[in-house]
Amino acid sequence: MKITIIGGSGFVGTHLIEHFQKLNLYELLNIDKNPSEHFPSITKIGNVMELELLSQQLKGTDVVVLLAAEHRDDVSPVSLYYDINVKGMENTLAAMELNGIKRLLFVSSVAIYGLDKDNPNENSAVDPFNHYGISKWKAELLLQDWYTKHADWNINIVRPSVIFGEGNRGNVYNLFHQIASGKFMMIGKGTNKKSMAYIGNVVAFLAFLIREQSEGYQVYNYVDKPDFNTNDLVALTGKTLNKHIPTVHIPYWLGMLGGYGFDVLAFLSRKKLSISSVRVKKFCAVTIYDSSKMMQSSFVPPFSLEEGLRRMLEKEFLNHG
Residue positions annotated with a catalytic role? 132
> Residue 103's beta-bridge partner residues?
154
Name the residue among 197, 188, 290 with its Cα closest to residue 231. 188
Cα angle 205, 213, 41 (rounded to 5 degrees) comes to: 60
3-state DSSP helix/strand/coil % of the chain, to nearest 5: 45, 20, 35
Q: Going by C-beta distance under 8 Å and a sequence separation of 6 or more, which residues neighbour residue 5?
A: 13, 16, 17, 28, 29, 30, 31, 64, 65, 67
Sign of CA dihedral 205, 206, 207, 211: positive
The torsion of the CA quartet 73, 78, 79, 84, rounded to 10 degrees, works out to: -10
H or E element: which one contains 32? Answer: strand 27-32
Is residue 208 within 8 A of residue 156, CB to CB? The reply is no
Distance of CA 228 to the CA centre of its chain: 18
**What count of residues does the chain have?**
321
d(CA 114, CA 222): 16
Q: Give one word for 101, left, alpha or beta, with left for phi > 0 and alpha for psi -120 to 50.
A: beta
